[in-house]
Structure 1
Amino acid sequence: MRALLCLLSLLLLGAVGPARAASELLIGSGSLTGVYYPAGGALCRLLARAPARLPCQVVATGGSADNLTALSRGDLSLALVQSDVQLTTTPPPALYRLFNLHQEALTLVTRQDSGIRSLADLSGKRLDIGNPGSGDNRTMRLLLQALGWPEETVDSLSHLNVSERAQALCDEQIDAYAYVVGHPSSAISEAAALCPIRFIPVEGDAVDRLLQSHSYYQRTQIPADLYSGVDDAIATIGMPAGLIAGPQIDEALAYRITQQVFSRLPQLRRLHPALSQLVRQQMIGEASGLPLHPGARRFFVEQGWLPPLPAATQPALISP
């Protein structure tokens, strides 16, 4: 009987132990109304499928900067982080990028009756630039600096949560707001449902200067016909969002996650509209943020998508 009980205990430990470990795979995303949250959920659904079978949980967070902090504390195992935040923050050395996901676009939203049609028209208007520490806030501060706005004026702008901006815009409490987001976005759909909106093009000499001095930004467009009343594609700037691994993701697990995603890329594209245009080479994106995780790099090299690093520059193997 004692032998039988011991055998049953071992079997239970074997069944519960891995499941418990797998359940601790937490993906930090962003606000519930942004694209990071459903994108993280799409990744979780994909990772839970065979053969990887890595159940995980998507966690709503304050965004890219908060995600880097939570990763460094060990509160998250993976997180979505904008490439500009990756490049301009000083994270602990144990954080690595697995791959890029969708493109994030700086989106300036205003009411159709606001009279705002260009960046120059924002002068003297009530502009919301997002929470301090967010990608929205950082990108807008750089843009307003390029436009020549005094620092004290920028500091006086409002900093609403994402969930508050649509109502504030349509209630005429603000005249415009900035949101760095993948499209389509439910938060912007909400604004379009509350009142007629338009997007402000992000272009001109100031934008040219910003792109020259900050190479991680790229020219992009917000596609037409994604939102009610917005019938034309809009020029703006953007950057990719990357999946970043915390210190507890060792080389074997990073390889397993990367293999699962890239071997099932068509399925991932179907899980959310913002992921529908994913392109393999852009996802690998060698120069778009934190260094590649050795586990992800090993998979890319095995597939012939990246050349092997010279022996002298091989990163140390990561273990938990």
Structure 2
Amino acid sequence: MKFQSRLRFPAACGLFALALAASVGGFADDARATEHQTFVIGTGNVAGVYYPAAGAICQAMNGVREAGDPTCAVVPGESSKANLAALRAEGTDFAIVQSDWQFWAQQGAEFFADPTPFTSLRSVMALHAEPLVIAVRRGGGIGALADLKGKRVSVGAPASASRGMMEVLMGALGWSMSDFGEVKEFAAPQQAAALCNSDIDAAVYAVGSPSATLAALTTRCEVSFLPLAGPEVDQLLAENKFYRTAAIPAGVYAGIDAAVPTFGVGATLVTRANMSETVVAALVTAVLENFEAFRALHPALTWLETDQMMRGGLSAPLHPAAARVFTEREGS
């Protein structure tokens, strides 16, 4: 595999969709293609972010492939848990998974069908952040985390990502649910109406940007996002390596004119230790050498930075080929 030429991406989203469809279609014609013909990235729902993000990776890879080189293909998936199971069973070659699920798979956990540590799991790169967002009504007297005490707060639905991160944050602060005046467990779709109608004072989300959910909320009523930073958050990050620093970007949502610091999980690309070093190196190289064009392929990738890609929320060791490419790039 040479992969020497630089890729020129089409700017139009329509062309991206066609390229992705062609990639997936090619795999569908030979569902058991060998590693040397097609390698497969397991993703998420086609309407979500993981599927098109993987499509951007495949477009970077396929755009510089030469005759005889393997083709990158994307398949939809149900969840990070399912993607990790498929990767472990060698049903896929790569997978996009949330960073906390990557951590638990590597460590081993009883909620997996195989609860033993996935010792051959390897990180390839970190992608976009999926941070905790705490929204409050503007003018409601809440400007910092400490102001939430005694207020009516929707902490997210049980077992949701937002609820999990909120509980971790509360633990770091030494808080319990009793510190709030009233606790609601609304799912994300219910929270906008409750917050804008003054039925609650704060709502918790876990979502990357740009988010249609946050866009709808900020156009429905005037809200602010609380900054989540400080010594307690720093300690939380040190104790939970699957979390990463993040920011809600400025100018994306109505009334949010400055970036807001926060933290959260992130999307990560993973593989197995036995994955071809040539393929892994070519994939990472294709993305990095065409980085600006890669980021332009999906809005969720807009704020991705190369230094975060080799560190952001990764708990499984970097695949040696990925580590080598990142190290060479840092030294260049």
Deviation at 1:115, TM superposition (A): 4.2
* Corresponding residue to 1:147 among 165, 173, 182: 173
Deviation at 1:70, TM superposition (A): 5.2
Quickly say closer, same or farther: Cα 1:287–1:186, change in 2 above 3 A.
closer
The residue number in structure 2 matching 1:292 is 318
Which aligned pairs between 1:109-148 and structure 2 lie closer than 5 A? Answer: 109-112=135-138, 114-123=140-149, 124-130=151-157, 132=159, 134=161, 136-148=162-174
The residue number in structure 2 matching 1:190 is 216
The residue number in structure 2 matching 1:81 is 97
Q: Report the aligned-residue RMSD.
A: 3.9
SS in 2 for 1:187: helix
Conserved in 2, the CA contact under 8 Å of 1:41 and 1:58?
no
The residue number in structure 2 matching 1:225 is 251
Task: Name the amino acid aligned to 1:242.
Answer: T
* Corresponding residue to 2:261 among 231, 235, 260: 235
Deviation at 1:228, TM superposition (A): 0.9
Conserved in 2, the CA contact under 8 Å of 1:130 and 1:179?
no
Task: Name the amino acid aligned to 1:226.
Answer: V
TM-score (norm 2): 0.67
Deviations 1:75-131 (A, max 9, x none): 654333344553455251122111122344322123336543322233342323355
The residue number in structure 2 matching 1:55 is 73
Task: Name the amino acid aligned to 1:45.
Answer: Q
How many pairs align?
285
Distance 2:204 2:190 in 1: 12
Structure 1: stretches of 5+ with no match in the other structure: 1-15, 307-320
Quickly say closer, same or farther: Cα 1:284–1:184, change in 2 above 3 A.
same
Which aligned pairs between 1:254-269 and structure 2 lie closer than 5 A? Answer: 254-269=280-295
The residue number in structure 2 matching 1:98 is 124
Distance 1:153 1:77 in 2: 46
Structure 2: stretches of 5+ with no match in the other structure: 1-28, 109-117
Distance 1:164 1:76 in 2: 36
What percent of counterpart residues are identical?
A: 31
Deviation at 1:143, TM superposition (A): 0.4
Distance 2:157 2:97 in 1: 16
SS in 2 for 1:54: strand
Quickly say closer, same or farther: Cα 1:178–1:72, change in 2 above 3 A.
farther
The residue number in structure 2 matching 1:40 is 54
The residue number in structure 1 matching 2:229 is 203
Distance 2:210 2:296 in 1: 14
> Are positions 1:25 and 2:40 aligned together?
yes
The residue number in structure 1 matching 2:111 is none
